[in-house]
C-alpha cells in the first residue's frame, strides 16, 4: 500500500505499489540515484545498489563522509529509472517518455557486521554481473572495512510506469504528423580485455545482457 509520501500524485494511473513490480525494476537497473540532505541542501549522487529480499543495499561510499555523520539512520530517497522509449505525439504537449521508475523512502543505516557486509558486497556484484563473484579475487578484511554499504528497508516504495503509444488529443489525430515510439535500451557491446589479459571473456561477460 502507498503511504502519503509515496502515492503517485501526477498521473496516478501510472502508479504501481506491488512489490513484484518494484523488485523487477530495482533488479534490472544498474545504478540508482541516492538523495540525502546536508544542512537543508539536497544532494543526489549516482551509485550502485542491490536488493536482498526486503532490503535495499546501497554502495554508500560516494556520500559516505556525509552519511556517516548521521547516527542511527539517515533519511534518504533512492530512485532508479529505466528508460524504455521516446514517445512522439502529434502535439508537442503530448510528447512523453516510456519509463519504469521506483522511489524508495526511508532511513538508511550503515552496515558494520563483517559477514553482513560481505553478503551485501556479493549481492551487489551478482546484481550487476551474475556469475562474477566466484571468479574474482575475494575481498580481504581491509577491503571489506574499506567498503561502505548502507541498508534501507523496502517498506516505503512505489513504482511509476508509462508504457504504450502516444496519447494525442482527438482533435490532433488527423494532423499529418508522424507519431509513435523510438524504443531505447541499454545495450552491451563486445567485452574489451584489459592489458595482459589472455583468453576469451567468460560467458557472463561475452553474453552480458540486462532485463
Task: Report the candidate in 126, 109, 129 with the shortest Cα–Cα distance to residue 118.
Answer: 126
Is 77 a binding residue for a copy of itself by CB under 8 A? The answer is: yes
Say if residues 165 and 22 touch (Cβ distance below 8 Å). no
CB of 1: closest distance to a copy of itself in angstroms?
Answer: 19
- Interface with a copy of itself, residue 71, by CB under 8 A: no
Residue 90 Cβ vs a copy of itself, minimum distance, rounded to whole Å: 6
C-alpha cell at 198: 589472455
> Among residue numbers 15 through 54, which ones bind a copy of itself (CB under 8 A)?
30-31, 33-37, 40-46, 48
Residue 62: closest CA among 125, 3, 187, 150: 150
In this complex, which beta carbon is closest to a copy of itself, that of residue 28 or of residue 168? 168
Distance in angstroms (rounded) separating the CA atoms of residues 22 and 211:
14
- Binding marks (x or -) toward a copy of itself, 115..154, rule CB under 8 A? ------x---x--xx--xx-xxxxxx--x--xx-------
Residue 37 Cβ vs a copy of itself, minimum distance, rounded to whole Å: 5
13: Cβ–Cβ under 8 A, 6 or more apart, which residues?
A: none
CB 10 within 8 A of CB 101: no
* Residues between 152 and 181 with contacts to a copy of itself, criterion CB under 8 A: 165-166, 168, 172-173, 175, 177-181
Amino acid at each position: 500500500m502507498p503511504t502519503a509520501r509515496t502515492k503517485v500524485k501526477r498521473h496516478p494511473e501510472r502508479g504501481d505499489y506491488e512489490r513484484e513490480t518494484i523488485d523487477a525494476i530495482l533488479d534490472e537497473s544498474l545504478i540508482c540515484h541516492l538523495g540525502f540532505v546536508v544542512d537543508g541542501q539536497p544532494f543526489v549522487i549516482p551509485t550502485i545498489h542491490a536488493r536482498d529480499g526486503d532490503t535495499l543495499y546501497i554502495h554508500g561510499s560516494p556520500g559516505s563522509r556525509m552519511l556517516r555523520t548521521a547516527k542511527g539512520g539517515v533519511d534518504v530517497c533512492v530512485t532508479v529509472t529505466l528508460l524504455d522509449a521516446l514517445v512522439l505525439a502529434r502535439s508537442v504537449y503530448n510528447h512523453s517518455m516510456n519509463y519504469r521508475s521506483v522511489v524508495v523512502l526511508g532511513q538508511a543505516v550503515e552496515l558494520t557486521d563483517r559477514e553482513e557486509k560481505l553478503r551485501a558486497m556479493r549481492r551487489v556484484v551478482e546484481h550487476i554481473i551474475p556469475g562474477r563473484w566466484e571468479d574474482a579475487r575475494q575481498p580481504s578484511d581491509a577491503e571489506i572495512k574499506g567498503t561502505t554499504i548502507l541498508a534501507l528497508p523496502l517498506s516505503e516504495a512505489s513504482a511509476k510506469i508509462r508504457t504504450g503509444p502516444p496519447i494525442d488529443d482527438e482533435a490532433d489525430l488527423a494532423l499529418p504528423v508522424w507519431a509513435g515510439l523510438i524504443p531505447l535500451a541499454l545495450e552491451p557491446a563486445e567485452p574489451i580485455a584489459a592489458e595482459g589479459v589472455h583468453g576469451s571473456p567468460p560467458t557472463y561477460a561475452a553474453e552480458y545482457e540486462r532485463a
